[in-house]
Every structure is written in structure tokens, then in C-alpha cells.
Structure 1
């Protein structure tokens, strides 16, 4: 899903504001929104991939104008309505005004077929994948070549888990890219590490 949330590598958003040490929450409602998200995941009303995808489905103008915890609330509220926990009318009555929600989800996908034999030290290319639903592949690494430097335990495959589909768990690989390979003539000399699920990668031979 190439949504507005996929901002990595995009220009025009000004430098990152380094505020230094600050509190995690600025208001009591932010604590409640974060707690509600944790409770819903803990009670298996929805999973983390569904939650991430709900935020991705926010209207672009709403996403860009919303704070972090506004996005948390929108994702939770949208999923609670979609799961039948609360109706839109009940939510509006509780809030006292209309609440903008995420747009409906498009289809997800389970992984099919074999996976390449990969290990630390291998050179890999990120597959040129596009998905209408949830995908945890940053757009700026699509088609790029890097080196595997780490491996995680197996986790639910997000492309399927965000849509209630069954699919085998997969490890994710810590892939190291050179910034100059990602953004030619437009970056500092640096390394960029990205966690990428097994199915997103193909081995580069030779």
C-alpha cells in the first residue's frame, strides 16, 4: 500500500525537529488513547497489523494534520466500529461531534510459494512488490540492493495478518543499505538499516 503514511525518503517536510528529552504524553486523553489501543490488542479485538493498517487508511489530509495520538485514536475508533464493538452513532454521541474515520480496507494477501534460502552476509534485492492492502515494505527500498546483517524471530506475516488471512509466520531480516544507493547524489555518506520480511527479498547471486 503506497499510502500517505509511507514518508521515508520523501522531501519537502523540513528537517526533523530535535526537541530533546520530553514527556511521552502532553495530555490525559493521549494516555487514554494509548491505553485503549493496548487493551484492544491484549483482548484480541484486533492485532497490531490491523491497527497499523487502520492508521495507514486515514485520509491523506487527516493523516498529515493529525498528531501521533490522534492517529492512534482514529485507528482504534475505526477498528472498533469495523469489529462491531461500537456503532458510529454511539461513538459520535460519546464524543459530542462527528469523528473522522479511516477509509475501508482493500484486499490483503497470504504468501504463496517457496522462500529463498537467505542468511547473514547475503546480498539481497528488495522485490518490486505493490499491494492494495497492508505491506511493511518502505517504498524507498523497493528494488534496491543491500546486505543482510541480522535476523529476527518469526512474526505473523503482516500482509495477511492485517486482513485476517492465514499465512505462515516469517522471520524478518535486518538489511543494510548504503544511503547513496537509495538516493543517488542526494544523501550523506551513511548506512540505512531496514527490517524486511523474508517474502520481500530475493537473493542476488555472484
Structure 2
């Protein structure tokens, strides 16, 4: 789902607080209570088997815009987990309201049923040039907006296959299992010549990708030549 949660490439939100991963939870979380939000989610997803992690992610996406803007990252997972526990019949809205002492605002319901993955194609290989499918869907999707329609290079394909998020994120257990790919993009291809010469690597499911064609590569060259000619005042 495209919404407030997808802030990749969006400016104006300040520096990202970052700490190096550790086997101890304390350097990973900024505040001591935050690990409890993940623990609560995995009680529902793993211990009780009530929902998948992608359903929890989709519930986060369903949080109303103003509520998203006024809550912290791990607070959103508390809201998402509470929403799913109510939707699965484990808790009620009234029980949550009593525990909080006021109205517990859950994520909004969804009427979208998700979508199946593209299948029947050979897997991509390391070194293949691929294009991210330029799709905007009403339901759950795990493709950042800033890479859609962009071309990159496959660096790695996982040996493990995972349920397609756009399907399993809506509770559909028939989700096709696919590998994911580490795809490398040039920063300038994503944000233009004002960006630096760096690289960005994004992990993407197979169903989000198409193999780049000779035609698309030729089109990129033509577009570049036209833009260069325009800068130099040359007309066709």
C-alpha cells in the first residue's frame, strides 16, 4: 500500500537515527519499552499463529494518516497488533478501551483482498538487468515508490523462497513462494544528476521484477541523447 509509511527518498524528515545491530536488544532499540512491541507482534504471529508478519505490516499501513504522523515506529506495531487481535476475535474494542481508559484507535479496516504473484517465468540470474514493475496497488506491496519503473542489476538471489507479500499480507495462505533478489541501482538513476555517485541495494520479490530488454536500454540511450541535445540548443 502506498501511504505515509513509505518515506524512502522523501526529504524534510531530518537524519535517520541509526545504531549497529547487536545480539543484545538494548543497542538496537532507542527506548527500553520498544522491544515489547515486537514481542507482542510475534506472540500473535508465531506463538498463536493468528496472522503473518506481512499482515502486521499491512495493518501498520492501514493506520490513519494523522495517527501515523503522531506515533513512533514501535507504537504503530502495537496499534497494528491490537487491530489484528480484534479482527481475529481474540480481543474486543471495548476491552482495549477499558485497558487504555479512553478510545483505543485501531487501524482502519480493509476491503482489498490482495493479489497473486506473477508466475511461470524463469528465475533471474546474478548479473541480469531488471526493471522494477511500475505498479501502484490498493493493498499491501513491498516495493518502495522511488524504485518503481527503474532499472538495476541483480547481485544475489536467495535460496529460500518466501510467501508473496501482496497475497499473504491479506491473510491469503495460498500465497506463492518466491525467492527475493538483491537489486543494485545507481543513485543518479533514482534521483537524477543532483544526487551523488553512490549505489542503493533493495531486496525485492521475483514478482516485482521484469527482465530489462534491449529495447528499454536503447530507449534510455535515446532519451539521454534528446536531453543532451536540448541542453545544447539542438532541435530535431
TM-score when normalising by structure 2? 0.81
Report the CA distance between 1:143 and its aligned residue: 0.2
Q: State whether structure 2 residue 109 is matched by structure 1 residue 107.
A: no
Report the CA distance between 1:37 and its aligned residue: 1.1
Q: Is the 8 A contact 1:116 1:202 kept in 2?
A: no
Rate the CA distance shift 1:86–1:127 in 2: closer, same or farther, 3 A. same
Picking from 144, 147, 151, the partner of 1:141 is 147
Picking from 47, 53, 68, the partner of 1:48 is 53
Q: State whether structure 2 residue 165 is matched by structure 1 residue 158.
A: yes
Picking from 99, 103, 108, the partner of 1:98 is 103
Q: In structure 2, the residue corresponding to 1:173 is in which secondary structure?
A: strand
- Distance in 2 between residues matched to 1:129 and 1:44, nearest whole Å: 31
Larger Rg: 2
Number of aligned residue pairs: give it: 205
Q: Is the 8 A contact 1:134 1:159 kept in 2?
A: yes
Q: Is the 8 A contact 1:107 1:132 kept in 2?
A: no
- Distance in 2 between residues matched to 1:16 and 1:199, nearest whole Å: 30
Q: In structure 1, the residue corresponding to 2:81 is in which secondary structure?
A: helix
Q: Which runs of 4+ in 1 moved over 4 A?
A: 17-23
Q: Is the 8 A contact 2:123 2:206 kept in 1?
A: no
TM-score when normalising by structure 1? 0.92
RMSD: 1.9
Q: Could you list the runs of 5+ residues in structure 1 that have no partner in the other structure?
A: none
Q: Could you list the runs of 5+ residues in structure 2 that have no partner in the other structure?
A: 21-25, 215-236
Rate the CA distance shift 1:117–1:35 in 2: closer, same or farther, 3 A. closer
